[in-house]
A and B are shown apart, each in its own frame.
Chain A
Amino acid sequence: MAAKSQVNPKSKFSIFSLVRNALSYHQNWEQQWRSPDPKSNYDVIIVGGGAHGLATAYYLAKECGITNVAVLEKSWIGGGNTGRNTTIVRSNYLWDESAAIYNHSVNLWENLSQELNYNVMFSPRGLLHLAHTVHDMQEIQRRGNSNYLNGVDAEFLTPAQCKQMVPFMNINCRYPVMGGVLQRRGGTARHDAVAWGYARAADALGVDIIQNCEVTGFRIENGVIKGCETTRGYIGGKKVGVVVAGHSNVVAGMAGFRLPIESTPLQAFVSEPMKPVIDCVVMSNTVHAYVSQSDKGELVIGGSGDPFVSYSQRGCFDQVEHVVGPIVELYPIFSRCRMMRQWGGITDVTLDRSPVISKTPVENMFFNVGWGTGGFKATPGSGHVFAHSIAKGEMHPIAAPFSIDRHYTGALIDEAAAAAVAH
C-alpha cells in the first residue's frame, strides 16, 4: 500500500523514553514531524496549520482513511490564534447546535492526551461564570437549565459558594456577585501542545505538514476546485478545506465569494508568575474579564475586543483599562501584580457569534472559519466533524447547522445574545 510506506512511526512518549532521554541529556529526542517538500497532488489540502487545521488532517487520516493530505501553513504551525488565545475549554452554550459541537469537543478533550500520546495538559479545573445583576441571574439560569437538557454539566452557586471557590474574590464589589454557574468539566489546556500533538500524530499517519507555504490563490475550473497557488508553487488538490483564522474573508475573496465575517482584534494578558492562587477559571460577562492561572503560575487574562475591523494584531490601549479595572475590583489581591505580556489576535466574528462550517459556492471546497473569540475550546470537535464532512462530501450532522446558508434562511445560532460575551 502506497500510503503505508509514507507512515512515519514515532517512538511512544512514556516514562521510559523520558528516563532514556534524560540520561542522554535530552540531546537525542527525535524530530516530531517531517518538513516535506510539497507533492504535486493531494487528495485533500487543508489551508491553515493552526490546531483546527491540524486536527482536521489528523482525523482525516485516522478516521476517514485519507492519508494523502497536506496542511499548508503560511508561517509556522500554531503561530496564529492557536498560540494567542487564553486556552479556555468549556461547552456551556445556550443553543442546542452549539451545545452539540462544543460538548463533542469536551468529550474528545478528556481523552486527547491518551489518543495523541502527547500531553496537551487538559485540566478540567472547573469554569465559573459569575452573575452580577438580575439580568445575569436570569441569563445563567436559562443557560444552565438549557445545559442540563443538553447533557452539559452546570451547577448553580450562591455568592458564598463562589467565594468558597475563590476565597479572595471581593463579592461585594461595585457590581456585587449575586451567584454563579459552574461547569466542572470545563478548564484549560496547553495551546501549543494541542497544535504540536495533532501535528505529530497526523505526520505519523502520513500527512504532509508544509510550513512557510502561503496560499496566494485558488485554481478553480467550472466552479470546481483544482488546487492552490502557493509561495512554493502550484499544489493540486481534489478537495480543499480552508481552516484559517484572522483572514477568512481574505481567503474567501481569493475563491471569489464573501463570508458573513468581520475580522477584529482581541487582546489577552499574562502576568508575572506567582505561586498557585486560583485553581479554576473565572469569567464574568457583565464586568467582562476572565482569569485563570497557567501551570507556570502566570495569570492569563482576557477581555473584550476592539469593535472595528483590523488586521494589526494589536489592540487599543483603552481595552487594557477595561480589562484590568474589573480584575482589580473583583480580585483586589491582584492589584500590585504586574502584567508581563500583552498581545492581540485577530478574531473572525460572525454576526451570530457562531462559526461557519460549510460547503461553499465552489465545489469540493469547504470552509471551517469564523470561530470568533472562542475557537480554541472547539479544536478537537471542529476538526473531527470537519474531517468527516470533507471525506463524505456532506456536512456532518453536528456541523450542518453552521452552514453559510443560515444567513439566508434566518436559522441563526445566536450565541451573541445568549451564552457568553466572554469566550
Chain B
Amino acid sequence: MFLIKCPYCGERDMTEFGHGGEGHIVRPADPSALSDEEWGDYVFFRKSPKGVHYERWVHTHGCRRWFNAVRDTVTDQFLGFYKSGEQPPEIDGGEQGQ
C-alpha cells in the first residue's frame, strides 16, 4: 500500500484512488482516417515499461478529479504528481507520450 499525493487534495491512502492506465495517449483527431493497425495500436497496445511510467489516476473517493503521476514500476515509488494538462516532469529514463 502506498500514499498518493492528489494535486488537489494532498496526500491520501491509495485505496481512495482508481488507476487509469498509461497517460498521455492522445485520441486520434480523425479516427475514421486510421488504418486497422493504427486504430488497434491506439486502443490495445501499451508500453508497460519496466521503469519510469507516466500514468493516470482518479481520486475516486475524494475530489473525483483525474490527474497524472510518474512512478517507477520496479519499486512502485512515485516520482511526481501533476494535474491533467500540465507538462510532465522530466525524469531520467522516462519516455512520455506516444
A-B interaction: yes
**Does A309 contact B2, Cβ atoms closer than 8 Å?**
no
**Does A407 contact B40, Cβ atoms closer than 8 Å?**
yes
State which of B25-33, B48-56, B85-93 sits at the interface with chain A: B48-56
Q: How far is the CB of A49 from chain B (nearest CB, A)?
A: 19
State which of A175-183, A260-268, A274-282 sits at the interface with chain B: A260-268
Q: Which residue of B lies closest to A405 (CB)?
A: B40
Instruction: Assess whether A416 is interfacial by the CB under 8 Å rule.
Output: no
Instruction: Assess whether A104 is interfacial by the CB under 8 Å rule.
Output: no
Q: Which residues of B contact A351 (CB under 8 A)?
A: 43-44
**Does A249 contact B47, Cβ atoms closer than 8 Å?**
yes
Q: Total interface residues on A, using CB and 8 Å?
A: 26
Q: Which residues of A contact B50 (CB under 8 A)?
A: 247, 250, 263, 311
State which of A1-9, A16-24, A185-193, A312-320 sits at the interface with chain B: A312-320
Question: A68-120: which have CB < 8 Å to B?
Answer: none
**C-alpha gap A249/B74 in the complex (Å):** 14
Question: A361-417: which have CB < 8 Å to B?
Answer: 407-410
Question: B1-46: which have CB < 8 Å to A?
Answer: 1-2, 14-15, 18-19, 21-22, 36-37, 39-41, 43-46
**Does A308 contact B37, Cβ atoms closer than 8 Å?**
no
Q: Which residue of B lies closest to A260 (CB)?
A: B44
Q: Which residue of B lies closest to A408 (CB)?
A: B40
**Does B14 contact A261, Cβ atoms closer than 8 Å?**
no
Size band of the interface chain B makes with A: 20 to 34
If the complex has contacts A307-B19, A318-B14, A407-B40, are A262 and B76 also in contact, measured as CB distance less than 8 A? no
Instruction: Assess whether A310 is interfacial by the CB under 8 Å rule.
Output: yes
Q: How far is the CB of B23 from chain A (nearest CB, A)?
A: 11
**Does A259 contact B45, Cβ atoms closer than 8 Å?**
yes
**C-alpha gap A235/B36 in the complex (Å):** 36
Q: Which residues of B contact A249 (CB under 8 A)?
A: 46-49
**Does B74 contact A316, Cβ atoms closer than 8 Å?**
no
**C-alpha gap A408/B40 in the complex (Å):** 5
Q: Which residues of A contact B15 (CB under 8 A)?
A: 318
Q: Which residues of B contact A307 (CB under 8 A)?
A: 18-19
Question: A205-252: which have CB < 8 Å to B?
Answer: 247-250
The binding surface of chain B is classed by DSSP as mixed
**Does B75 contact A312, Cβ atoms closer than 8 Å?**
yes
**C-alpha gap A312/B45 in the complex (Å):** 21
**Does B76 contact A310, Cβ atoms closer than 8 Å?**
yes
Q: Which residues of B contact A258 (CB under 8 A)?
A: 41, 45-47
**Does A312 contact B73, Cβ atoms closer than 8 Å?**
yes
Q: How far is the CB of A360 from chain B (nearest CB, A)?
A: 13
**Does A309 contact B14, Cβ atoms closer than 8 Å?**
no
**C-alpha gap A263/B46 in the complex (Å):** 10
- Which of B21, B43, B47, B74 is the one whose CB lies under 8 Å from A311? B74
- Which of A263, A316, A318, A410 is the one whose CB lies under 8 Å from B48? A263
If the complex has contacts A316-B14, A408-B40, are A309 and B1 also in contact, measured as CB distance less than 8 A? no
**Does A312 contact B47, Cβ atoms closer than 8 Å?**
no
**Does A309 contact B55, Cβ atoms closer than 8 Å?**
yes
Q: Which residues of B contact A310 (CB under 8 A)?
A: 73, 76
In the complex, per-residue mask of A21-57: 1 if CB is within 8 Å of any chain B CB, else 0: 0000000000000000000000000000000000000
Q: How far is the CB of B54 from chain A (nearest CB, A)?
A: 11
Q: Which residues of B contact A250 (CB under 8 A)?
A: 49-50
**Does A261 contact B48, Cβ atoms closer than 8 Å?**
yes
Q: Which residues of A contact B71 (CB under 8 A)?
A: 308
Q: Could you write out 18 A-B pairs with CB less than 8 Å apart?
A: A250-B49, A258-B41, A258-B45, A262-B22, A262-B46, A263-B48, A263-B50, A263-B73, A309-B55, A310-B76, A311-B74, A316-B14, A318-B14, A350-B44, A351-B44, A407-B45, A408-B39, A408-B40
20 additional contacts (CB under 8 A) given A351-B44, A407-B44, A408-B40? A249-B46, A249-B49, A250-B49, A250-B50, A258-B45, A258-B47, A259-B45, A261-B46, A261-B48, A308-B55, A309-B55, A309-B73, A310-B76, A311-B50, A311-B73, A311-B74, A312-B74, A350-B44, A407-B43, A410-B36
| CB-based closest 9 A-B pairs | A260-B44, A408-B40, A317-B1, A249-B48, A308-B19, A407-B44, A407-B40, A262-B48, A408-B36
Chain A positions within 8 Å of B, measured between CB atoms, are 247-250, 258-263, 307-312, 314, 316-318, 350-351, 407-410
